[in-house]
Amino acid sequence: MPRWPLASSAPRPQASGPGRPLLPRTDRMHASSVLLHQVQRRPNRNAPTPHRASPRRPTAITACPDKAFPIRTMRMRSVHSRARTIWMSASSSQVLAAFLRRYPPKASSSVADDPRQNLQLTAQHGLRVLGSAPATDILLGAPPKSRFDSSPYRYLWVIDQRGIPYIIEECLEVLGTQRPKHTNLTGGGNACMGGEMWFTSDSSLYVSGGSGRYPATDGHQLDAAVEVFESLGYDVTSLGWNDVTGFAKRHWEGEPTHG
């Protein structure tokens, strides 16, 4: 009896019947296994593509040798820090804009005795604009406790459209070995108000509204200026306002008041 061909192109064997040959049992089993193998290898175009999960990064098990927290914690803290910086910059810009609308920039209230007092200082001379806390490249100091007390590392500041430009009050050669004035921060232009500040850390400072060129109009303006500093993330302590003299306190008279 002739055997049924087992090539892959051969037709499927028919069941037994009148006029149809019957394959031996062993050949039928072999033919069924070949057909089953071909069916299993036939691709199904409607089948969904298997999802291959991307290799996960190792969790924070290994700690950095020079840090006390794991790698994942460092990554999350950096993300939170960037988000906090973005939110703080948006918040501080809104506070600054509100301050500028309420207290528009004004001209200096006194005339400079020396033309160099109206000289515009730049970053080359140490002028900077206060950014978000923590501050960098600063010198720590403390406010004076009396009018006769010296206060090293005192900074001058003003508030204008740029934000809070500030500079340390030290003698500069470009000013003829004189100390800068508030008008040196504006080039003799306009500013909302000016004052003095002392850094006690990179995120905390004391603020006074002491300025002969751009004085605060009242204690409310000084408090609003403190809010501009606080919007940048600083812990601010105001030296306060003297209701008797009608000017901002320029030295520490008792306990300072928070703005």
Each domain of the chain, given as residue ranges in start order, spans 73-248
Q: Please give the pLDDT value at position 254.
A: 65
Task: Output the pTM of the full model.
Answer: 0.66
80 phi/psi in degrees, rounded to 5:
-65, -35
Percent of the chain residues topping a pLDDT of 70: 63
* pLDDT tier at 77, thresholds 50, 70, 90: very low
Distance (Å, rounded) from C-alpha 185 to C-alpha 187?
A: 6
pLDDT over 80 (residue 117) = yes
Q: Please give the pLDDT value at position 148.
A: 85
Residues 6+ apart with CB under 8 A from 173: none
pLDDT over 80 (residue 193) = yes
**Residues 204 and 232: beta-carbon distance below 8 Å:** no
pLDDT over 70 (residue 76) = no
Top pLDDT among 75 and 96 is at 96
- If one counts every other C-beta atom within 10 angstroms of the C-beta of residue 41, the result is 7
Top pLDDT among 121 and 48 is at 121
Average pLDDT over residues 148-171: 95
For the chain, what is the radius of gyration of the CA atoms? Answer: 39
**Count of H helices and E strands in the chain?**
4, 8
* pLDDT tier at 69, thresholds 50, 70, 90: very low
* pLDDT tier at 178, thresholds 50, 70, 90: very high
Specify which residues 238 forms β-bridges with.
207, 257
* pLDDT tier at 57, thresholds 50, 70, 90: very low
pLDDT over 90 (residue 184) = yes
Top pLDDT among 258 and 249 is at 249
pLDDT over 50 (residue 65) = no
Q: What is the mean pLDDT of the chain?
A: 78
* pLDDT tier at 30, thresholds 50, 70, 90: low
* Identity of the amino acid at 149: D
Top pLDDT among 18 and 186 is at 186
Q: Please give the pLDDT value at position 13.
A: 52
Distance (Å, rounded) from C-alpha 216 to C-alpha 118?
A: 20
pLDDT over 90 (residue 152) = no
* pLDDT tier at 91, thresholds 50, 70, 90: confident
* pLDDT tier at 95, thresholds 50, 70, 90: very high
* pLDDT tier at 231, thresholds 50, 70, 90: very high
Q: Please give the pLDDT value at position 149.
A: 87
pLDDT over 50 (residue 162) = yes
